[in-house]
């Protein structure tokens, strides 16, 4: 509980959850996989519960507590929901943690949690009466999803609060979906093949358990993300650009699909090294450059690309269940900023696309301003942009569900 609370406190202080988790793991290399998983699960599930802990605390606290105590109380309330039969132990652990971090507030923590337990029958009522607590998202986020997702808006929000599914991809250069499924079955891991050859696991497992992972026969990649290579459909001998490449899953999938000349761009040097490691495990090669894809003079040699993957920075609202800190840290004004950055990227990359070439625009967002609205504005600016119809539709909108995360795809051809 103490370690999970430290991660939640980092997010409440404005920090990135994944970075905080990696620092914590680096500081405790001897922890078992079970211990790492338990800390991760409690921190992630606490942050998915946006508003739900606070709607209880608002009725029990006279004033907002310090961040470290706020985080501790949120984690304790989450654990009390998960393990009501362990109420005495949970309260005792929280009090002990407060005694270490802020001794003067340990009695307050004890009183708040015991008072919360006495009123636990009312938690559901308090949550239902508060829109943010009921859906587990900020009000502005709820409004945007309601406007975008139509009748299914509530299901989209509900999916964002669940544990994400796990899917894998067969490396076409070293295996096949059939062989991967057979290896999974032999290892006692149930899975099924989806229409676009992604393999959805019945239950997530540790990567170390995946047969063939270390040997590069299989990779972990969300089923929704696996549409990218299929839609862009590179052909042998073509020059391809992956403009925002880290962590490299789509880069690798493109290289597995055809013998192409691929340039992968990444702004962050550390994340660029991650691409190199992923490709090395899979036995793949690409040219990798650290550069801002908008600054053409820094990386482009003037030779046009046949195909471009523009997997642009976005709100990540379609993958929030994997990164629950997003709903705590993101602000509605950020969406406008992301949209402006996306427009700059599209306009810059369009200059590098050969006539007759195709560009696949991708986000992991469910917000229209970053998706269909962005593409409509781009086409209005560029008369030579022709919208193609992936899967028979003007675009492919994947809302998060039990099979995949949320993604948006739009395929554009540059008229000759």
H or E element that contains 341:
helix 332-350
Q: Counting beta carbons within 10 angstroms of the beta carbon of residue 353, is it exposed (0 to 12), middle (13 to 18) or buried (19 or more)?
A: buried
**End-to-end CA distance of the chain, in Å?**
60
Q: Is 237 left (phi over 0), alpha (psi -120 to 50) or beta?
A: left
CB 358 within 8 A of CB 307: yes
User: In which residue are the tokens 């406007």 written?
Assistant: 147
Helix and strand numbers (H, E) in the chain are: 18, 12
CB 246 within 8 A of CB 272: yes
Residues 6+ apart with CB under 8 A from 36: 25
Residues 6+ apart with CB under 8 A from 84: 120
Q: How far apart are CA 141 and CA 223, in angstroms?
A: 24
| Virtual torsion, Cα 274, 275, 277, 280, nearest 10 deg | 180
Residues catalogued as catalytic: 364
CB 219 within 8 A of CB 282: yes
Running DSSP on this structure, what letter comes out for residue 414? Answer: E
Closest Cα partner for 56 from 83, 85, 76, 86? 76
Closest Cα partner for 332 from 363, 362, 367, 377? 367
Q: Tokens in use for 384? A: 């030579």
CB 227 within 8 A of CB 196: yes
């Amino acid at each position: 509980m103490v370690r999970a609370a430290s991660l939640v406190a980092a997010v409440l202080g404005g920090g990135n959850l994944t970075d905080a988790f990696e620092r914590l793991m680096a500081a405790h290399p001897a922890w078992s996989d079970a211990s790492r998983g338990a800390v991760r699960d409690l921190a992630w599930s606490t942050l998915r519960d946006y508003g739900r802990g606070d709607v209880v605390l608002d009725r029990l606290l006279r004033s907002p507590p310090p961040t470290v105590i706020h985080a501790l109380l949120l984690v304790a309330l989450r654990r009390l929901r998960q393990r009501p039969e362990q109420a005495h132990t949970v309260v005792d652990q929280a009090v002990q943690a407060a005694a270490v971090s802020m001794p003067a507030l340990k009695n307050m923590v004890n009183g708040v949690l015991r008072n919360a337990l006495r009123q636990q029958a009312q938690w559901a009522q308090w949550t239902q009466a508060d829109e943010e607590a009921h859906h587990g998202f900020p009000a502005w986020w709820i409004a945007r999803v309601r406007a975008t997702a139509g009748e299914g808006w509530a299901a989209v929000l509900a999916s964002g609060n669940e544990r994400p599914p796990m899917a894998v991809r067969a490396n076409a250069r070293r295996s096949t979906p059939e062989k991967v499924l057979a290896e999974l079955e032999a290892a006692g891991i149930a899975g099924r093949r989806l229409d676009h050859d992604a393999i959805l696991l019945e239950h997530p497992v540790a990567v170390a358990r995946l047969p063939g992972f270390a040997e590069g026969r299989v990779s972990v990649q969300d089923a929704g993300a696996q549409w990218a290579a299929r839609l862009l459909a590179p052909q042998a001998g073509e020059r391809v650009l992956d403009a925002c490449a880290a962590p490299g899953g789509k880069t690798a999938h493109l290289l597995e699909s055809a013998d192409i000349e691929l340039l992968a761009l990444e702004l962050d040097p550390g994340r660029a090294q991650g691409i190199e490691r992923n490709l090395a495990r899979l036995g793949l090669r690409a040219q990798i450059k650290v550069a801002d894809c908008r600054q053409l003079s820094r990386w482009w040699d003037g030779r046009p690309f046949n195909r471009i993957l523009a997997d642009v920075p976005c709100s990540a609202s379609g993958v929030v269940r994997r990164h629950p800190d997003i709903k705590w840290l993101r602000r509605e004004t950020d969406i406008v900023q992301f949209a402006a950055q996306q427009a700059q990227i599209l306009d810059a990359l369009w200059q590098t696309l050969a006539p007759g070439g195709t560009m696949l625009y991708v986000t992991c967002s469910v917000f229209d301003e970053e998706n269909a609205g962005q593409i409509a504005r781009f086409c209005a600016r560029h008369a030579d942009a022709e919208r193609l119809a992936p899967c028979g539709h003007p675009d492919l909108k994947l809302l998060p569900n039990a099979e995949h995360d949320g993604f948006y795809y739009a395929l554009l051809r540059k008229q000759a």
